[in-house]
């Protein structure tokens, strides 16, 4: 469903091309999230030139990051107990651990989405 070049494109787009401003503002500011989604998509041009695939990668990256959707995935996998927190984990999970586990879930979610888009369209 996904290849090594897709994972590398994801890592470059999400970590190398993401500025501090994008990283800190994307959950509060749609412009920052949109700029990040566009920058994130640039490495995927080396994988496909399909405009629909690139638009879907950018378009789906935007809401996942803007509204931190991975936290709902974490919340659901943990039994959907209580209110949804910033990380999806309950307050009894150490803050450092819940943040890192959310980052892992977010990365997996992006990689799965990108893999599905590229497998379907290219």
**Structural domain boundaries enclosing 42:** 4-121
Nearest alpha-carbon partner for 60 in 109, 21, 13:
109
- Give the mean pLDDT of the chain: 96
Is the pLDDT score of 2 beyond 90? Answer: no
Question: Which residue do the tokens 């994801």 mark?
Answer: 10
- Token pair recorded at residue 10: 């994801």
Q: What is the pTM of this model?
A: 0.94
Q: What is the pLDDT of residue 1?
A: 63
Per-residue confidence band for 3, with pLDDT thresholds at 50, 70 and 90: very high
At residue 86, φ and ψ (nearest 5 deg) are -60, -30
CB 58 within 8 A of CB 33: no
In angstroms, rounded to a whole number, what is the distance separating the alpha carbons of residues 65 and 110?
9
Per-residue confidence band for 21, with pLDDT thresholds at 50, 70 and 90: very high
Q: What is the pLDDT of residues 48-98, one digit of tens each?
A: 999 999 999 999 999 999 999 999 999 999 998 889 999 999 999 999 999
Domain count, the chain: 1
């Amino acid at each position: 469903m996904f290849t090594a070049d897709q994972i590398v494109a994801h890592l470059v787009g999400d970590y190398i091309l993401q500025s501090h401003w994008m990283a800190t503002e994307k959950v509060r500011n749609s412009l920052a999230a949109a700029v990040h989604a566009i920058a994130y998509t640039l490495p995927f041009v080396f994988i496909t030139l399909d405009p629909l695939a690139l638009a879907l990668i950018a378009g789906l990256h935007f809401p996942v990051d803007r509204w931190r959707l991975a936290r709902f995935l974490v919340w659901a996998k943990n039994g959907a107990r209580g209110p949804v927190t910033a990380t999806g984990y309950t307050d009894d999970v150490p803050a450092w651990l819940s943040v890192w586990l959310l980052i892992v879930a977010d990365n997996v979610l992006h990689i799965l989405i990108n893999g599905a888009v590229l497998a379907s369209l290219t």
